[in-house]
Structure 1
Amino acid sequence: MPGPRSGHDQEKGALMSTKQIVALLNSHVEGDQEQFLSIALQIAAQQARAGNETDANALKRLVQKARERQGGAPSGQTPIPLARPRGELQGLVESAYPKTTLANMVLTDAIRARLERVVREQGQRAVLRDHGQIPATHLLLVGPPGTGKTMTAAALAGELRLPLFTVKLESLFSRFFGETAGKLRLVFDQIAQTRGIYLLDEFDAIGSRRGDPNDVGEIRRVLNSVLSFMEEPNSTDSIVIAATNHVEILDKALARRFDEVIEYHVPDHEAARILLTRRLGQLRLTAKAWSSIAPMTDGLSQGELVRAADAVLKDAILENAKSIDVARLRTALEDRQSFRRRFHA
């Protein structure tokens, strides 16, 4: 049984508390509300590790109430100042503060319902914890390029008014091969300290099956580290989103760590029509025009459809045109189809 703390240990604990108070006051004076709340969550995590679950949960609930109050800020006012990666995380993580929402996306009813459930759980996470439940915090998004995976991360950040942190995994490997697990440790430490949406893009770079013929020892070590990191408590309820175009090569043990696995597909004709109509805006896409170009949208991703629409829209802006040029839209779609055939050949 451990004995009483020594005077030195007590003094050290007091110093740590003093530093936290100084950091809290400094963030308050600087008007950095997100930093203020992040420090409060760090204290909550310390209390939880020390076994003081009651105090830890009380702090988390207060932080949530503060953020919910910020959520009612007037339109156009930033409710939470943008948190930016610092120190060794610079270059590994890119930060943004998207204004995109789920309403801006063309989604199937099934995918929209699942994402809206994630938003609802996050908004009521204190209620869930009071009943012994936790909100969904780990999402795996799979599907072809350009089908909306990255935009989903931005939309969730916009819905929850949280910063979006994008972790560039391939950059991490190329710059720090041999130290990747340690760098990922920094990322997961930030997840535990700073609430946000964390996008691990091109996740198959670290999630490929163990034992793959092309596997190397470093990738196995990194994968094992990620498996361990994802089991750790997420005191901030940050959302970790992994996106991949190659779900078939993901390690099954890793896939089981996710609360939600959402599969994206290229748009069908109706989704393509809605997307083009929204993108073209005042250049109305009539039923007659749509019937002539609908077959040309087959197999095109959301990203490819957007690029085709933007090419026509920019021409219209520069030429001060008031209506859509169907021939140009047809050509733009044909160009995207030609590129897709070459790319996938």
Structure 2
Amino acid sequence: MFTLATAEQIKMLVRSHFESNDDRFRTVVLQIAASEAKKGHQTFARDLRGILDKYYEKNNKIIPFNKELDGLMRTELSDGKLTDLVVNDEIKYRIEKILLEYWQRDKLKKYGLNNRRKILLTGNPGTGKTLTASVLAGRAKLPLCTIVMDKLLTKYMGETSVKLRQIFDFISHNQAVYLFDEFDTIGTERSLDNDVGEIRRILNSFLQFIEQDESDSIIVAATNNPQLLDQALFRRFDDVIHYTLPDREQVANLIRNKIGSYNHKLLSLEQVADEALTLSHADITMACNNAVKEAILNGSGYIDENLIMRMIIERKEVYQRGGI
């Protein structure tokens, strides 16, 4: 026998089908899946989500199932893989541990334990924090939902906290990986001299919402400025991972990953790696892409160490000209 809530959901499913409202249809199915998961019907919930993921992966990479949030969130299906991340072994191990606990969360719950799913990523810009959220979504086979911070923050008193409540209400009913990028914009230390009452209210609201959240979603916050974060935030996260600029070995591996499909010659990258040590993963990726494009456009189709070195130097000059 259906509960009243389930009966209402079935009505919405039928209505959204005949109205050709795919967004509402998907949202209701995800709500049913989340509800069934909480009742212990994990296989049924996974089957429902699997049907949706398979359909949307085949038909569209973008999943606009969050219209009720009025542009507060961008949603997409990720095909991110661990091999996409060129990070040190410690970071990769901790990401693998997050995924293992997610896959085995039902087993942990039998012992009264929860999987780590509230994750704070800190470190230099361009070092793989956003990519990590994409990898978590891809490996967990969940949608990746990125909170649009400039839409979240408003000048009107109390409005941002209301939007945060809407987001966490959505999180509780729609299982996904949720990314709060540039997190320091709402997580600033409450005792800073430039703080105002509204910022304190926003931070207090976030602390309350994330502490109360008991969903099966993975919540990721990323910041380039961990020193600005309020200390109370660190206690609310199950894991904190710090990212750094790549070392020589990571630089070489990153370059080989990016140009491997274009150039099969074994390159000697020691000097290139030394030159690129002050650059981030994102900068090195951009330099490799520029090298590939130049090789294609000049007709040679060949990438050597000199070409990569030149692109690395050009990328470094971007910062030197900007006085960085």
Normalising by structure 1, what TM-score? 0.82
Alignment correspondent of 2:30: 38
Provide the C-alpha distance between the structure 2 equivalents of 1:165 and 1:110, rounded to a whole number of angstroms: 26
What does the per-residue CA deviation read over 1:149-193, in whole Å, with 9 as the maximum and x for residues that have no partner? 001111111111111111122332147564100011111111101
Matched, 1:86 2:67: yes
Q: 258-267 or 311-320: which moved more? A: 311-320
Deviation string 1:119-152 (CA, Å, 9 cap, x unpaired) is 1111122222122111111000000100000011
8 Å Cα contact 1:140/1:262 also seen in 2 = yes
Contact 1:100 1:155 (8 Å CA) reproduced = yes
Deviations 1:39-87 (A, max 9, x none): 2256459xxxxxxxxxx4324x24444268669979x758999362112
Residue among 167, 182, 193 paired with 1:202: 182
2:104 aligned with 1:135, yes or no? no
Q: Provide the secondary structure at the position in 2 that maps to 1:299.
A: coil
1:66 aligns with 2:58: no
Which of 246, 258, 271 is the aligned partner of 1:279? 258
Displacement of 1:27 in angstroms is: 6.9
CA contact (8 A) 1:23 1:39 kept: no
Structure 1 residue 232 displacement after superposition: 1.3
Preserved contact between residue 62 and residue 76 of structure 2 (Cα < 8 Å):
no
8 Å CA contact retained: 1:312, 1:325: no
Aligned mate of 2:8, from 13, 19, 27:
19
Partner of 1:294: 273
Aligned to 1:57: 39
Summarize the Cα distance change of 1:314–1:183 in structure 2 as closer, same or farther, 3 Å threshold: same
Q: Quick check: 1:277–1:285 contact (8 Å CA) kept in 2?
A: no
> Any unmatched runs of 5+ in structure 1?
1-12, 46-55
Distance 1:35 1:138, change over 3 A: same
Within-5 A mapping of 1:1-345: 16-24=5-13, 34-41=26-33, 43=35, 56-59=38-41, 61-66=42-47, 77=58, 82=63, 84-87=65-68, 89-174=69-154, 178-235=158-215, 237-281=216-260, 282-284=262-264, 286-288=266-268, 290-343=269-322, 345=324
- Alpha-carbon distance between aligned partners in 2 of 1:42 and 1:23, rounded to the nearest angstrom: 16
Q: Aligned partners of 2:186 and 2:237: how far apart in 1? A: 15
Displacement after TM superposition at 1:303 (Å): 0.3
**Structure 1 vs Structure 2: percent identity of aligned residues?**
34
Q: Give the match's secondary structure for 2:39.
A: helix
Larger radius of gyration: 1
Aligned amino acid, residue 129 of structure 2: K
Structure 2 unaligned segments of length 5 or more: list them: none
Q: 1:220 to 1:57 in 2, by over 3 A?
A: same
Q: Tell me by how many angstroms 1:283 deviates.
A: 2.0
Residues 277, 284 of structure 1: 8 Å contact kept = no
SS at match of 2:169: helix
What is the RMSD computed on CA atoms of the aligned residues? 3.0
SS at match of 2:153: helix
Q: Which moved more, 1:138-147 or 1:152-161?
A: 152-161
The size of the alignment, in residue pairs, is 318
Cα distance in 1 for partners of 2:26, 2:60 equals 9
Give me the whole-angstrom Cα distance separating, in 1, the residues matched to 2:248 and 2:153.
39
User: Residues 331 and 286 from structure 1, CA distance in 2 versus in 1: closer, same or farther, beyond 3 angstroms?
Assistant: same
Deviates more, 1:310-319 or 1:148-157: 310-319
Partner SS for 1:274:
helix
